Amino acid sequence: MRREHEVGAVPRRQRGNHREWEPGRFVKEFPLYRLVAEDGELVGAPDEVTLPDAEVLRLYRLMVLNRSLDERMITLQRQGRIGFYIGSIGEEATILGSAAAMAESDWIFPCYREHGAALMRGMPLVTFLCDLFGNAGDAMKGRQMPCHEAWRPGRFTSISSPISTQISHAVGAAWAARLKGDAMVALTYFGEGGTSAHDFHTGLNFAAVRKIPVVFVCRNNGWAISVPRERQTGSETIAQKAIAYGMRGERVDGNDLLAVHAATRRARERAEAGEGPTLLECVTYRVEGHSTSDDPRAYRPAELVEPWKKRDPILRMRRYLVRRGALAEAEDERIRAQVREELQRVLKEAEAFAPKPPLESLFEDVYAEPLPQLREQLAELEAAVAADPRVANPRHSDA
């Protein structure tokens, strides 16, 4: 019997050279896969729940941390203490549910909203916060805007601002792993806006042609900065794009941690078994702006957001855990208090680092060894700073 989530193939009766356009057809062919309803009730088959309660609790705590971190950092940006921030409020289940379904040896190729996954992969919270400050504790040595982290020990790669460029990197790494005989599966994230970019098309095409073990996770959060999904793609769903490339596609409730986890795990198992890549469309919503540089009130009526607040992924997991007796009110309070305390403490730790990385780091890592002109340019800059300290002052005209 065909299960709800097995929706990748086009039914035989609809195959043929000529098909009339039927509005809504792909929404029916790619129904939203869900395991937990908004009130926390299990609505999917119990045997599809791949996570024991203890693991759900761990991810719940990570979602709470991710949410608190985002809220706190948005405030910090408003206070002028960090320059920029990209949050993932409302999208935590998509990010953490999918990352948690991967093996530790798998690689993650992030888009720019997945710092929750970086923390899950062991990036120390203090290192992430130092990245936001671009200070001496920043693993990226203050070279990128905030939220462009990389964490090699966790096989979490480096974030680029150009959209979707990481998709073919994921394909290449997974291809390399297969050539080396490793069981590694690559997971890569992008928004629905990213499906407009050429790297999405080339990446999916390359992966499908060679059956490369990649899980493509589209965080369909409804908006690409100010442009709604309908102005980003003519497709009714993102998942249906899988058909054209010759891979499996699945549409998942992106606010349902258990559904995202189960779907990603299935996709991973298929990839590992040599059955090729999967495109997962995680349907979620960006309840805040694209970044702190954005004010969604300019282009989005507030009433669009309200229904999504009711679908909050953290609230849903909380209800699920409470229903199962795995989370008591007092325990939830304790988790939240602990997260608040941790953030406060680590924030102080991060702010204690020197405000800037050392001058010479400007010239490091351009090449494996600095070229002669880079050495000369460092000397030139050092001499300029020594002659006039205003060189290092952001307000250069100040005396």
Partner 1 sequence: MPTMNIIQAVNDALRLEMRRDPDVVVLGEDVGKFGGVFRATQGLQDEFGADRVMDTPLAEGGIVGTAVGMALYGLRPVPEIQFADFIFPAFDQIVNEVAKYRYRSGGQYACPMVIRTPYGGGIKGGHYHSQSPETHFVHTAGLKVVVPSNPYDAKGLLISAIRDPDPVLFFEPKRMYRAAKGEVPQGEYVVPIGQARVTREGRAVTLVAWGSMWHEVDQAAREAEAEGIDCEVIDLRSLQPLDTGTLVASVKKTGRAIVVHEAPRTCGFGAELAAILQERCFLHLEAPITRVTGFDTPFPYTLEMEYLPRAPRVLKAIREVVSY
Size of the site for partner 1 (CB under 8 A): 48
Per CB under 8 A, 114 contacts partner 1:
no
Closer residue to partner 1, CB minimum distance, 23 or 181: 181
What angle is formed at CA 232 by the lines to CA 18 and CA 13, rounded to 5 degrees? 25
For CA atoms 166, 230, 289, 125, the dihedral sign is negative
Asked if residues 80 and 106 have their Cβ atoms less than 8 Å apart, the reply is: no
Q: Residue 68 or residue 144: which is nearer to partner 1 going by CB?
A: 144
Q: Which is nearer to partner 1, 27 or 176 (CB)?
A: 176
C-beta of 136: minimal distance to partner 1 in Å?
Answer: 12
- Sites for partner 1 among residues 82-111 (CB under 8 A): 107, 109
Helix (H) and strand (E) counts in the chain: 13, 7
* Position 137, amino acid: G
* Closest approach of partner 1 to the CB of residue 114, in Å: 15
Task: Specify whether the CB–CB gap between 108 and 99 falls below 8 A.
Answer: yes
> Residue 284 and residue 100: Cα distance in Å, rounded?
18
Structural contact between residues 210 and 168, judged by C-beta atoms closer than 8 angstroms: no
Residue 172 as a binder of partner 1 (CB under 8 A): the answer is: yes
Torsion sign, CA atoms 64, 70, 75, 76: positive
Residue with tokens 């790297």, as numbered in its chain = 199
The binder of partner 1 chosen from 202, 226, 233, 235 (CB under 8 A) = 202
Site for partner 1, residues 41 to 60, rule: CB under 8 A: none
What is the distance between the alpha carbons of residues 204 and 176, in angstroms, rounded to a whole number? 16
Binding mask 313-352 for partner 1 (x = CB under 8 A): ----------------------------------------
When the beta carbons of 45 and 366 are compared against partner 1, the nearer one is: 366
Output the CA torsion sign for 176, 163, 255, 32: negative
Residues with catalytic function = 286, 290, 299
Give yes or no for residue 359 binding partner 1 (CB under 8 A).
no
**CB–CB of 92/114 below 8 Å?**
no
Q: How many CB atoms lie within 10 A of CB 23?
A: 7
What is the smallest separation between the CB atom of 108 and partner 1, expressed in angstroms? 12
**Could you tell me whether strands 278-283 and 186-191 are parallel, antiparallel, or unpaired per DSSP bridges?**
unpaired
* 2, 180, 297, 395: residue in contact with partner 1 (rule CB under 8 A): 180
Q: Smallest distance from the beta carbon of 289 to partner 1, in angstroms?
A: 24
Nearest Cα residue to 339 out of 63, 110, 113: 63
Q: By C-beta, is 174 or 260 nearer to partner 1?
A: 174
d(CA 62, CA 56): 10
Among 57, 139, 225, 305, binds partner 1 (CB under 8 A): 139
Interface residues for partner 1 in 147-166 (CB under 8 A)?
148, 150-152, 157-158, 160, 162, 165
By the 10 Å C-beta count (0-12 exposed, 13-18 middle, 19+ buried), 398 is classed as exposed
Q: Do 70 and 345 touch, CB atoms closer than 8 A?
A: no
Which residue, 186 or 347, is less far from partner 1 as judged by CB? 186
Using CB under 8 A, which of 9, 45, 183, 209 touches partner 1? Answer: 209
Amino acid at 139: A
Minimum CB separation from partner 1 for residue 320, in Å? 36
Nearest approach, Cβ of 280 to partner 1 (angstroms)?
Answer: 19
Least distance from C-beta 127 to partner 1, angstroms?
Answer: 10
Establish if 215 lies at the interface with partner 1 (CB under 8 A): no
Binding positions for partner 1, rule: CB under 8 A? 107, 109, 138-141, 143-144, 148, 150-152, 157-158, 160, 162, 165, 167-177, 179-180, 184, 186, 198-199, 201-203, 205-206, 209, 364-368, 371-373
